[in-house]
Structure formats: structure tokens, C-alpha cells
Amino acid sequence: MDPSNALDQGENGVRELDVLVIGAGFGGLYCLYKLRQLGFNVHAFEAGAYLGGVWHWNTYPGARVDSEMPYYQFSMPEVWRKWNWSQRFPSGEELKAYFRHVDETLNLSKDITYFANVIDGRYDELTAKWTITTENGHKAVCKYLVCSVFELNEKEREELWEELWNRGGFNFNQANYRDYMFDENANKLMYEFWAKKTRPRIKNSEKSAFLVPEKAPFAFGTKRSSLEQDYYERLDQDNVDIVDLKANSIREFTENGIIGQDGLHREFDTIVLATGFDAMTGSLTKMNIHGKDAPTAFTNGPVFIESQVDMLIDLLKKLQSEGIKSIEAERKAEEQWKQAIQDANDQTLMPLTDSWYMGANIPGKKREQLVYLGGIEKYETECRKALESLEGFKVDRYSDKEFNRQAQET
């Protein structure tokens, strides 16, 4: 478990692999674990100094996961049998300890190169292989590249919502009736219930009017809901000012503060840039990947990551056993898949809100839905059906001679 572990280079300083995994968070680690079990020659590149993905980088005070246990963990028995969480929503430090436990249990670091920030990826059509290069000069050639991204009356409704609210976690959103994502009246009722619970926590009337307005500033649930314990109490403190950047945007940063469009210079010891995510596509575009594309994933929750990696593993086994050099979605199939996602999205209230779900927070990025909204069961069913028949894919197969040579190598 040596974070300084370096990739053992082959001839010409290049490592030949079956599979290269980029990233050592939940997804990358589970993929590495499963592929090793199947005998693939697999390795992972990780830009950080140790595994854990976002939880390696999240070091700010108070860092904490907003998904409750046991959902935010691996399901492998050898991992969970010797681990007990001390909190329902673990802190960043406990998550770091959990990843150390995962590493010690599964011995993953031996197949991970750290400080390996990918800066280029090229696909060679002739060899059907990827060449991946890192900022520090690591280079790997691989066959497969994995980039690890109201049917109730009012009284009954209130009783249900009280129960869900008191459970905490994401229950009020995720365990509720789904019509609030489609029906504006149902959404309005959801917001009013949330406001009723939140508004009494803010004593300052001006802050209350801004933070919990009478009319919802956007459809409830169409932006990522963040779990909190005392967020509104902290904002209500006398030493905290709230500035509406839509009405008074930032003119410039100074050595010790910020000047707004109102001309006022506000001094700060620390400025935190909480500017959101370039969701779904940002990590891939920053790595300068060129070659064959694949569909975006469904979600980054660990229990769902395992489902997605399992599908990927089954696909790689199919490619290996059937002598398939590469597959790539045909343009028509890509357009049909994209249109199905947009059609599902248009039935909801999501398009009414500028959010990172829609890519609206990144200047120049096309505003469109990037998340599959049909649920994990339907997502897996559709993916497995397509991957079983490979309908809608351009399939490039090895010749008999090439296939026999591949079989001998593996």
C-alpha cells in the first residue's frame, strides 16, 4: 500500500495492458478489483497521491458525505465484514480511513500509479489500442480504456412528508411520490412544505425573505439538493452577510477581498470558490481523449457504480471470447439514445432550471440533459439488451489469425 508506487515500464518505457482504468475513486477501484479477479492485465492511473477519488481531494473543514450508510460503501463481503461506520453520514476523515481499509483488504495500490495525471489519449484504428500519456511521462498502451462520472388527501400527504422529513437523508426527495418532478402544482406543495420547515430557522427577516422566498426561485428538486445540519443558522449569524450575485455580480478580486458592481469592497481572509461541477463530460474533455466514444454513466453512487462496472466486465468478457477488436455506437444509435434522454427530460420540470444537470453552469457548454432519468433498473436493462446483441454498434472483429494470437497472449 505504497502511495509512491510507480508503473513498471515495459519496453521503450511503455506498459502493455489489457485494460487501463483512469481514476481511483469508488468506480475505478471496483473496476480494478473485478478485472483482476477475471485475470485481465489491468492497471490504474490516479492523478492524486492516494486512492479515494473525490475523498482524497476533499480536505476542507467539515467535509462530510451527504449519502447515508450503508449505501455509500462497497458491497464486497471481505470489505464490509471488518468495517463499522461510526456515523450515519461519515466525515471526510472517516471516508479516508475507509479507503485505507479497502486498500489494505484488497491490496489495490500495487496496481495503481499515483501522481499520474492523464493529459492525452489516442486510439489507433489499425492496432485497436489506446495510448495514454500522463503529465509525469507515464505511458500505457491498452486494448480497453475505462474512464472512471399525489394520490393522497392533504392529511395523509402531510403525515407522509413529516415521516420522510424526520427520517433525514435524501428521504424527503427520493422516497417521495415522483409527481413533484412532473407536475408544477405538486412541486409547489413540496416547496411550501420545505419552506415551512426551513423559514423558522432564520430570525433575520431580510435573510429569511432571500433564502426562503414565498415563491420558489426554481422548481424544487431540479437542482442537486445538499444535505445540511446548521447551514441556515450559520447564514443567520450577525457576522454573515449575504450578497445576491445575480443582482450585484463580482467586478474584481483584490489582494484582500472582492469588489462588487455596487463598488463596495468587502474584505476576506479566505475566499472559497464553490462554483459547481462540469458534470458528466468535464473530466473526459480535460484529459484530451481522442478516439472511440462510449455512453455516459448513470450515477456515481457506489452501489450503482458496481452495477455499471459489472456490465462493463460482462462486455469485456464478450469482446474477448468472440474475437471482437472494438465496438463503437453508430451515429444513428447515438442520436436515438440522446433523443430518448431529452424526451424523458422534457416530460419533467428539469428544463425549466439552469443547473449542472443541464450543463447550464459552464459557459459555452450546450444546455441539455446529461443524465439518464429512467431509473437504474431500466438503464441496466437497456444497456444489457444492446450489449448482448450489439445492435446499433459498429463491430470490428479480429481475423482468425489475429484472434488465435490474442488467445495465446491471454
Q: How far apart are CA 326 and CA 123, in angstroms?
A: 11
pLDDT tens track of the chain, all 410 residues?
444 444 444 445 789 999 999 999 998 999 999 999 999 999 999 988 999 988 888 777 788 887 788 878 999 999 999 999 999 989 989 999 999 999 999 999 999 999 998 989 999 988 999 999 998 899 999 999 998 745 666 777 888 889 889 988 888 888 887 788 888 888 999 999 999 999 999 999 999 999 999 999 999 999 887 788 899 999 999 999 999 998 999 999 999 999 999 999 999 999 988 877 787 778 878 888 777 666 566 666 777 888 889 999 999 999 999 999 989 999 999 999 989 889 989 989 999 999 888 888 888 999 998 888 888 888 889 999 999 999 999 999 988 877 777 767 66
Q: How far apart are CA 210 and CA 359, in angstroms?
A: 25
By three-state DSSP, how is residue 141 classified? Answer: strand
- Among residues 402, 245, 238, 383, the alpha carbon closest in space to that of 315 is found at 383
**102 sits in which H/E element:** helix 92-106
Please state the pTM of the whole predicted model.
0.65
Count of beta carbons in the 10 Å neighbourhood of residue 108: 21
pLDDT computed for residue 293 by the predictor: 65
Handedness of CA 206, 212, 214, 218 (dihedral sign): positive
Handedness of CA 270, 275, 276, 281 (dihedral sign): negative
Q: How far apart are CA 246 and CA 218, in angstroms?
A: 14
- DSSP-assigned letters across all residues of 182-244: T-HHHHHHHHHHHHHHHGGG---HHHHHHHS-SS-SS-TTSSPPPP-SSHHHHHTSTT-----
Q: How far apart are CA 28 and CA 251, in angstroms?
A: 41
- Among residues 293, 321, 345, 330, the alpha carbon closest in space to that of 397 is found at 321
State the helix-helix crossing angle for 376-389 and 302-321, rounded to 10 degrees. Answer: 10
Domains of the chain: 1-148 (3.50.50.60), 154-225 (no CATH), 296-410 (3.50.50.60)
Burial class (CB in 10 A: 0-12, 13-18, 19+), 65: buried
Q: How far apart are the first and last CA of the chain?
A: 27
- DSSP-assigned letters across all residues of 335-352: HHHHHHHHHHHHTSSGGG
Q: How far apart are CA 161 and CA 235, in angstroms?
A: 26
